[in-house]
Amino acid sequence: MTFCAMVPMRSIPFQALCLIGMNDGAYPRDERPVSFDLVARNPRRGDRSRRFDDRYLFLEAILSARGRLYLSYVGQSARSGEPLPPSPLVSELLDTLSAMCGEDMAARLTLRHPLQPFSPRAFDGGDARLASFEPAFAAALAAPPAEPAPFVAPLPDEGAATVVNLHDFIRFWQNPARAWLADRLALRVAYSGDAQPAREPFAMARDASHALRRQLVEAMLHGKPPQPVRQRVAAAGLLPCGELGQAWLQEEGRASVRLAGRLPGVLRGEALPPQPVHLEIAGFTLVGELYGLRPEGRLDFIVGKMNAAQRVALWLSHLILCAARPAGVAPHSACYDDAGSTLLHDEIDAAGLLAPWLARWKQGQAQPLPFFGRTSWAYAEALAKSPDKPDKALAAAWQKWEPNFILGDGVAQKEEPAIALAFRHQSPLEDPLFAQLAETLLLPLAERLQGGQA
């Protein structure tokens, strides 16, 4: 057996000749002259043509075959499965044979192999020319159907640390599935918003809009001119081009003025220095620092409407504040957003409310917990309104998990990248642990907000 390239004047006869890679666009080769090719710039009759050379090489090759001629090309797209044409030379050869024989020789001579080597057609014995000799594929096809295995299984208990950082603790509960993938498996799941936009932006991105508005509101609260903030945003390329960007900047300025006008005057003063926290709760030591504290309590504002992750962070920060009780700070929390305000008053048994959060945090180090911000909050909120109707609460959770309609560029909770990966081939809402987590952790907050105690 001889392997060689196709070169002119080497038409040595062979009993069997195989031409591989006769794909459309690959043979004959395209003529793409370089910029300094003077022959291509000023063509004349009789100049050498690469395409004509390839046609002559193809003629020499097929004349060298004495017993069998084998032509191979990629006839199906590996990405979409669509049929692909062969080289124009192969098509011309088939057309010539069809004209000579008076029938469609392409259908008679062409053998289409399956796209994948593990196709059942390669092992069913229907055509000996398609037979495969890979035993691993044959064993896989002969095996009985099996349910797809979950992506994850509980990890071995490595003795979770009893000293918990306050900020890592809050970050974990804002998205337990994402934190578990990042902390235990070192997987950083990218969001769809991380990709570069394919079209010119005609509006500000949501994150950029919120960041700009927060900077403008903070400048207004502290009596600073907003013009430097606007200049920084314009220089960062976060605005649409031209007058449209200036119009968006003016609109963000008006929205910032409305939000700043609703905030209490206490936020105009400077916050207290970060207060250290060292709590011993249920065998865990919670350490860190609390920010944004004032004599009146922990006060903050959010641009836009408070989402589920921010609500969890507010509740946990409030419980830690009430359990630590730093000197000179009232055990109250308040958060203002575009929809109104959320006020949380003193919790006498804050440590008791934090204990299940810490216990479930330890469990969440070994396995992803079925705790989802919007979905779990919908369950707890509906259960607080109708304590005797858990089925109604579960139906509300399903509406967030798999909604019938999604507005704008939103995404269902089950389709979020980290959750979709960690709970692949599973239905976590059917797990009793989902309801237990929502009732144990979020129901106390939902009851306080529902009863007007917060």
Q: Is residue 342 part of a domain?
A: yes
247, 306: one domain: no
Q: What's the pLDDT at 454?
A: 44
389, 284: one domain: yes
Q: What's the pLDDT at 296?
A: 92
Beta-sheet strand order (sheet of 333-337)? 293-294, 297-301, 333-337, 340-344
Distance CA 256, CA 40 (A): 63
Percent of the chain scoring above 90 in pLDDT: 37
Q: Token pair for residue 412?
A: 């269902």
Q: Interior CA angle at 429 toward 418 and 435, to 5°?
A: 115
* Amino acid, single-letter form, for residue 55: R
Q: Does residue 336 register a pLDDT over 60?
A: yes
Q: Is residue 154 part of a domain?
A: no
336 — phi, psi (to 5°)?
-110, 140
Among 66-75, 146-155, 195-204, the minimum mean pLDDT is found in 195-204
Among the ranges 97-101, 192-196, 316-320, which has the highest mean pLDDT value?
A: 316-320
256, 183: one domain: no
Q: What's the pLDDT at 453?
A: 45
Q: What's the pLDDT at 143?
A: 85
CATH of the domain at 56: 3.30.160.800
183, 223: one domain: no
DSSP helix/strand/coil, 278: strand
Q: Is residue 199 part of a domain?
A: no
425, 312: one domain: yes
The domain boundary residue, chosen from 103, 137, 160 = 103
58, 182: one domain: no
Q: Please, is 254 exposed, middle or buried when counting C-beta atoms within 10 Å of its C-beta (0-12, 13-18, 19+)?
A: exposed
The domain boundary residue, chosen from 53, 79, 103 = 103
DSSP helix/strand/coil, 193: helix
Q: Is residue 426 part of a domain?
A: yes
Q: Does residue 34 register a pLDDT over 90?
A: no
Preceding peptide of 428 cis, ω within 30°: no
Q: Which residues contact 325 (CB under 8 A, 6 or more apart)?
A: 331
Q: Is residue 145 part of a domain?
A: no
343, 443: one domain: yes
Q: What's the pLDDT at 323?
A: 94
Element (H, E) at 290: strand 284-290
63 confidence band (pLDDT: 50, 70, 90) = confident
316 confidence band (pLDDT: 50, 70, 90) = very high
Alpha-carbon distances, residue 32 vs 28, 35, 49, 400 (angstroms): 12, 9, 11, 56
254, 287: one domain: no
Distance CA 27, CA 86 (A): 9
289, 219: one domain: no
Among the ranges 56-60, 171-175, 191-195, which has the highest mean pLDDT value?
A: 171-175
310, 179: one domain: yes
Q: What is the pLDDT of residues 211-252, one digit of tens each?
A: 888 888 888 888 888 888 888 877 777 777 778 878 888 888
Residue with tokens 């390239």: 5
Preceding peptide of 28 cis, ω within 30°: yes
* pTM exceeds 0.75 for this model: no
319, 353: one domain: yes
Residue with tokens 């609500």: 311
For 292, the domain range is 173-191+275-452
258, 295: one domain: no
358 confidence band (pLDDT: 50, 70, 90) = very high
Q: Does residue 409 register a pLDDT over 90?
A: no
The domain boundary residue, chosen from 262, 283, 306 = 262
120 confidence band (pLDDT: 50, 70, 90) = confident
Number of structural domains (the chain) is 3
Q: Which residues contact 401 (CB under 8 A, 6 or more apart)?
A: 372, 375, 412, 413, 414, 429
DSSP helix/strand/coil, 344: strand
pLDDT (average), residues 162-191: 90
Percent of the chain scoring above 70 in pLDDT: 94
Q: Is residue 142 part of a domain?
A: no
Q: Is residue 177 part of a domain?
A: yes
Q: What is the pLDDT of residues 362-388, one digit of tens each?
A: 999 888 999 999 999 999 999 999 999
Q: Is residue 166 part of a domain?
A: no
Distance CA 392, CA 376 (A): 13
- DSSP conformational letter for 23: B
Q: What is the residue-wise DSSP string for 131-186? A: ----HHHHHHHHSPP-PPPPS--PPP-----SEEEHHHHHHHHH-HHHHHHHHHS-
**Mean pLDDT score across all residues of the chain:** 86
Q: Does residue 324 register a pLDDT over 90?
A: yes
* Amino acid, single-letter form, for residue 278: H
